[in-house]
Structure 1
């Protein structure tokens, strides 16, 4: 169900590009513009997603001799998840967080901040790493990168083509200004809708990664404890970087309340914790087969 929901949301994002181009230009030329942008941005995010995410947070490669226990933990979890060992990176910040990136499990990377290594116990860190490796196994890293790039392309289309519509002929009959409804759509409504869809994709995948972490470690409460610490400490020490990449992080770097929850890149931490605790109770209530 999550895969179907994610595919539908990505389809809607691509549709926004196509519809936006059509409304602005007013004929089939706009459709071609939208389709071309959707194709180019999707391919670019597929191929360069790992480089963009790592650069956004100034992540540096980490060698095994620098953190042997971390490498052993990731290797063990990767074997359980049945994926290749990803590359490991360190982010030079005291803000506790982590993320995974890469277009597929064979070209994946896991990045952890210096702060998270110092803040979490081994069990809590294992829960976080299992969460990130689940993203890799489920190819969420690609999904989130495509969603973020498509959302950005919608905004880009609005900014660039709006200038063309205002200051020069756009349609084949040289009408100046294009479609007024298209301008309104591209300047205000499309970026808003694209952002909401991007965040919906991210929230959908976070729940699945939490479940995957519990399955890989067999200890849902370890991730519960980690999320509690990360939520509290993350607000005290913000994570600087490109906001477009924030859906990749394990916890939302920004605090939102009320209507602003619509713009959360992650589900509410309280809701994630509640689901994990329910899962732990179910595991305890299920008798172990002899």
Structure 2
């Protein structure tokens, strides 16, 4: 169901882009230029996403000899998930967080902070690692890249519309002039709508990765316990890094309530725990049958 929802949201982004092109420009030229610029920049970022994200958090590669317990845990869970062994990275500092990155399972990495390794129990850390491996298995980095590409194209059109509002005629003769209503939508409404859709896609993928972790470890409650600890820790000691990479992290750096929750890259911890405990009950029933 989450995959269908993600596809629907991506389609909505694409439809928003096409509609803007029609109402603003009235022809294919502006859309093609904006889409080409966004595609090149975002797909380049996606291709090198592993190195960009790892450098943003100063993540350091570790070998089996340097972190035997962590390395063995990632190796064991990767084997269970039937994906290639990703690179293992450690982020210095007391903040407790983790993320996975890479353009596909064969070019992936899992990074955890020193804080999360010392804070969580072995079972809780296993749940976190399984969550990140589920992101890799589900190719969520690809999904986010597509969303970023289309969202970037919408932002590009917004900038083009701002320029058009100053220098172009407001008529639509021969389908070339900008439409005033479309111009207003492009400058103010469309980028906001694109951001909200991207955030919704990110939240959907988090639920899917949580479920993947629970099924992989057969212990959803361990991840639920880890999320409780991580949320409390994130508010006290947020991880230092580029906020643009927050969708990668297993939990938001800060709790967001009310309207601010619309722009949260993750679902509420309460909602995630509720779904994990429901999955625990579901797995228990399956064992009894």
Q: What TM-score, normalized by structure 2, do the two folds share?
A: 0.89
Taking the aligned partners of 2:132 and 2:238, their CA distance within structure 1 comes to: 20
Correspondences of 1:85-234 after superposition (within 5 Å): 85-159=85-159, 161-169=160-168, 178-234=178-234
> Is 1:59–1:89's contact at 8 Å kept on the other side of the alignment?
yes
Residue 175 of structure 1 and its aligned partner are, at CA, apart by 11
> Is 1:131–1:213's contact at 8 Å kept on the other side of the alignment?
yes
> Is 1:169–1:177's contact at 8 Å kept on the other side of the alignment?
yes
Moved more, 114-123 or 28-37: 28-37
Taking the aligned partners of 2:41 and 2:17, their CA distance within structure 1 comes to: 11
Number of residue-to-residue matches in the alignment: 288
> Is 2:27–2:175's contact at 8 Å kept on the other side of the alignment?
no
> Is 1:196–1:263's contact at 8 Å kept on the other side of the alignment?
yes
Q: What TM-score, normalized by structure 1, do the two folds share?
A: 0.89
For residues 49-103 of structure 1, what are the alpha-carbon distances to aligned partners after superposition, in whole Å with 9 as ceiling and x for unaligned? 2233223323222232221110000000000000000011222332211111111
Taking the aligned partners of 1:144 and 1:21, their CA distance within structure 2 comes to: 22
Taking the aligned partners of 1:94 and 1:182, their CA distance within structure 2 comes to: 48
Give the unaligned 5+ runs of structure 1.
none
Question: Does residue 253 in structure 1 map to residue 266 in structure 2?
Answer: no
RMSD in angstroms over aligned alpha carbons?
A: 2.6
Q: Matched residue of 1:64: which SS?
A: coil
Q: Find the counterpart in structure 1 of residue 277 from structure 2.
A: 277
Moved more, 16-25 or 218-227: 16-25
Distance 1:53 1:19, change over 3 A: farther
Taking the aligned partners of 1:147 and 1:53, their CA distance within structure 2 comes to: 17
> Is 2:38–2:149's contact at 8 Å kept on the other side of the alignment?
no
For residues 122-157 of structure 1, what are the alpha-carbon distances to aligned partners after superposition, in whole Å with 9 as ceiling and x for unaligned? 111000000000110111122123323543443344
Question: Does residue 80 in structure 1 map to residue 80 in structure 2?
Answer: yes
Residue 213 of structure 1 and its aligned partner are, at CA, apart by 0.6
Taking the aligned partners of 1:30 and 1:280, their CA distance within structure 2 comes to: 50
Distance 1:18 1:59, change over 3 A: farther
Taking the aligned partners of 2:13 and 2:62, their CA distance within structure 1 comes to: 35
Taking the aligned partners of 1:131 and 1:284, their CA distance within structure 2 comes to: 20
Taking the aligned partners of 1:50 and 1:16, their CA distance within structure 2 comes to: 29
Moved more, 70-79 or 204-213: 204-213
Residue 235 of structure 1 and its aligned partner are, at CA, apart by 0.9
> Is 2:105–2:137's contact at 8 Å kept on the other side of the alignment?
yes
Q: Find the counterpart in structure 1 of residue 3 from structure 2.
A: 3
Taking the aligned partners of 1:32 and 1:280, their CA distance within structure 2 comes to: 48
Q: Matched residue of 2:65: which SS?
A: helix
Taking the aligned partners of 1:205 and 1:193, their CA distance within structure 2 comes to: 19
Moved more, 31-40 or 179-188: 31-40
Moved more, 1-10 or 244-253: 1-10
Taking the aligned partners of 2:28 and 2:150, their CA distance within structure 1 comes to: 21
Taking the aligned partners of 1:99 and 1:194, their CA distance within structure 2 comes to: 24
Taking the aligned partners of 2:61 and 2:91, their CA distance within structure 1 comes to: 9
Residue 180 of structure 1 and its aligned partner are, at CA, apart by 2.6
Give the unaligned 5+ runs of structure 2.
none
